[in-house]
Amino acid sequence: MSDPYIDFANSGIGRRIAGAVGLPTPARLERWQAGRQQVIEGALLLGNGPLCAEIARFASKLSQQPLGLTGADTDLPTWSTNSPVPLKAVVFDASLIVTLEDLDQLRVFFAPLLRHLQPSAHLLILGRTPGPTAAPEAQIAQRALEGFSRSLAKELRNGATLQLVYVDHEGGDALEGLLRFFLSPKSAYVSGQVLRLGAGAAKVEDWTRPLAGRKALITGAARGIGAAIAETLARDGASVHLLDVPSARSDLQALAARLNGKTIDLDICAEDAVPRLIEALPDGIDIVVHNAGIIRDKTLINMSVEQWNSVMEVNLKAPSRLTEALFESGTLANDGRVILLSSTSAIAGNRGQCNYAASKAGLIGLAQAWAPRLAARGASINAVAPGFIETHMTAQIPFALREAGRRLSSLGQGGLPQDVAEVVAWLAQPGSGAINGQVLRVCGQSLVGA
């Protein structure tokens, strides 16, 4: 469950050996520590443009050192290569890129600053989907941003990350919530991703406890990623209902005692799972995280009916049934947040995982299919697709495959359960209703499924 190579590659002798023989040198990623207040511990550079002008109005809440460029219509101190302050976070406003000529602005903006990034810097490009009456050239130029951002993310070093978000609506606290996530160590293991920010008017009262007053259900919470999600949602102020199979009761109870949460001993595939779950949630639920999942890997030619059925049942059929029941019964709050644990295997396919990848791709379909119905009530549903995460599950993988899983990504290492949990906690926030029916990978920009 740990990656000793990172320690080796970051030691004095290890660095020399790795450099001499051309081995990868994955950076030690900076992660969010409980109790931290400052979103960005260092300088934040904002590019020019209307979205950055909007961000400048609250930039001092994000960083003690917000900077702009000359020519900006903000009064921020300016950053230049003549006296380059090292940068911890960068936002480029690409919303006005509407011609092919405009694309050169990407090169002009980013090339000079890449040598001045601090370790674990976070970069963000904000685009805007052109309206239906816009010229085709605007569509082309905005689409080009994807190739640029995914490629530049692969060129970054020292644990830096980069995402592209199309901001198609403004309002509420969605943009601030997005920046608090993507410009901070909470998104340490997310890179090269593309998302869309839609409409959402919710406000967050207290950014140190953005989930205060919200009730969360986490399935498969006894260990691994589920336990980390429970810890993180509780850290952010949610009261947690922890669900797992009866055989995991003692681990579940120990975690619940620590988090002041409640336990639900339930196999989500049980015949009476729906009525029992609804009965266990008499006050309703605001956040539902479908995390319980299993693998039964075999190539299809060797796969038993039981291996196929059990994976489909736990990973896809039960979450589908429970989501529908919680929605139809009104147990899920009108502004509820549903988050489904998918996998990069669902996106890329994986030999020996026809059952697992089908079930996890089905969850992406579930998010897409249900998004409009949930949005009509102010709720949202999204999928999170982890890549290689250091858990008991991945510790069982043979050494060579495990090393490949870790190193074949832009960040050159596996993620931690906390990395997945941070994404879930962000998507669970009130303002994150602006993201709906989407899938976000947490994989260090793994080459698998890129």
Ligand X SMILES: NC(=O)c1ccc[n+]([C@@H]2O[C@H](COP(=O)([O-])OP(=O)(O)OC[C@H]3O[C@@H](n4cnc5c(N)ncnc54)[C@H](O)[C@@H]3O)[C@@H](O)[C@H]2O)c1
Strand partners, 44: 66, 89
Secondary structure (3-state) at 128: coil
Give the residue among 191, 159, 197, 203 at the shortest CA–CA distance from 178: 197
Options 134, 194, 199, 269; binder of ligand X; rule CB under 6 A: 269
Residue (123 or 234) nearer to ligand X, CB: 234
- Our CB check for ligand X shows the closer of 47 and 417 to be 417
- Per-residue tokens: 180: 């608090």
Contact segment (CB under 6 A) with ligand X among 90-98, 114-122, 301-309, 382-390 equals: 382-390
Distance of alpha carbon 345 from alpha carbon 202, whole angstroms: 33
d(CA 321, CA 33): 36
Question: Residue 7: which residues within 8 A CB-CB, separation 6 or more?
Answer: 14
Least distance in Å: CB of 215 to ligand X? Answer: 19
Nearest to 422 by CA among 413, 432, 412: 432
Q: Say if residues 427 and 382 touch (Cβ distance below 8 Å).
A: yes
Closest CA to 122 of 189, 70, 168: 189
Tell whether residue 220 is a contact of ligand X (CB under 6 A).
yes
* Min dist. Cβ of residue 183 to ligand X (A): 25
Q: Can you tell me the distance from the alpha carbon of 259 to that of 261, in angstroms, rounded to the nearest whole number? A: 5
Give the interface size with ligand X as a residue count (CB under 6 A). 27
If one asks whether residue 218 binds ligand X (CB under 6 A), the answer comes out as: no
Q: Does 189 bind ligand X (CB under 6 A)?
A: no
CB nearer to ligand X: pick between 126 and 243: 243
Give residue 277's Cα distance to chain centre: 27
State the minimum distance, in angstroms, from the CB of residue 118 to ligand X. Answer: 29
Residues 384-403, interacting with ligand X (CB under 6 A): 386, 388-389, 391-394
Tokens of 313: 């049942």
Q: Which of 6, 248, 255, 424 binds ligand X (CB under 6 A)?
A: 248
Cα angle 32, 36, 37 (rounded to 5 degrees) comes to 125
Neighbours of 179 (CB within 10 A): 25
CB closer to ligand X out of 67 and 314 = 314
Least distance in angstroms from the C-beta of 230 to ligand X: 11
* CA contacts within 13 A on the Cβ side of 101: 0
Q: Does 18 bind ligand X (CB under 6 A)?
A: no
Contact flag: residue 444 with ligand X (CB under 6 A): no
Among 28, 223, 262, 276, binds ligand X (CB under 6 A): 223
Nearer to ligand X, 68 or 293 (CB): 293
Instruction: Tell me the closest approach of the beta carbon of residue 378 to ligand X, in angstroms.
Output: 27
* Ranges within 282-301 binding ligand X (CB under 6 A): 291-294
Applying CB under 6 A, does 127 fall inside the site for ligand X? no
Measured distance CA(97)–CA(129) in Å, rounded: 10
Which residues are registered as beta bridge partners of 382? Answer: 339
Q: Say if CB 26 and CB 413 are below 8 A apart.
A: yes
CB of 111 to ligand X, least distance (A): 35
The span of 147-155, 223-231, 297-305, 374-382 binding ligand X (CB under 6 A) equals 223-231
User: Smallest distance from the beta carbon of 101 to ligand X, in angstroms?
Assistant: 42
From start to end of 398-438, where are the E strands? none
Comparing CB distances to ligand X, the nearer of 173 and 244 is: 244
Residue from 343, 429, 432, 436 binding ligand X (CB under 6 A): 343
Question: Residue 304 contacts by C-beta under 8 Å, 6 or more apart in sequence?
Answer: 298
Shortest distance, position 290 Cβ to ligand X, whole Å: 8
* Interaction of residue 314 with ligand X, rule CB under 6 A: yes
- Tell the smallest beta-carbon distance from residue 265 to ligand X (Å): 9
CA distances for 390 relative to 154, 274, 385, 417, angstroms: 22, 32, 14, 7
Say whether residue 325 binds ligand X (CB under 6 A): no
The span from the CA of 277 to the CA of 264, in Å, is 8
Stretch that binds ligand X, among 44-52, 91-99, 233-241, 261-269 (CB under 6 A): 261-269
Nearer to ligand X, 200 or 444 (CB): 444
Give the Å distances, CA to CA, from 53 to 65, 91, 128, 436: 16, 11, 15, 26
Q: Which stretch binds ligand X (CB under 6 A): 63-71, 88-96, 188-196, 219-227?
A: 219-227
Residues 256/242, Cβ–Cβ less than 8 Å: yes
Catalytic residue at 356? yes
Q: Which stretch binds ligand X (CB under 6 A): 61-69, 82-90, 243-251, 277-285?
A: 243-251
Sequence-distant (6+) residues with CB within 8 A of 143 are none
Catalytic residue ranges? 356
Contact residues for ligand X, defined by CB under 6 A: 219-220, 222-226, 244-245, 248, 267-269, 291-294, 314, 341, 343, 386, 388-389, 391-394
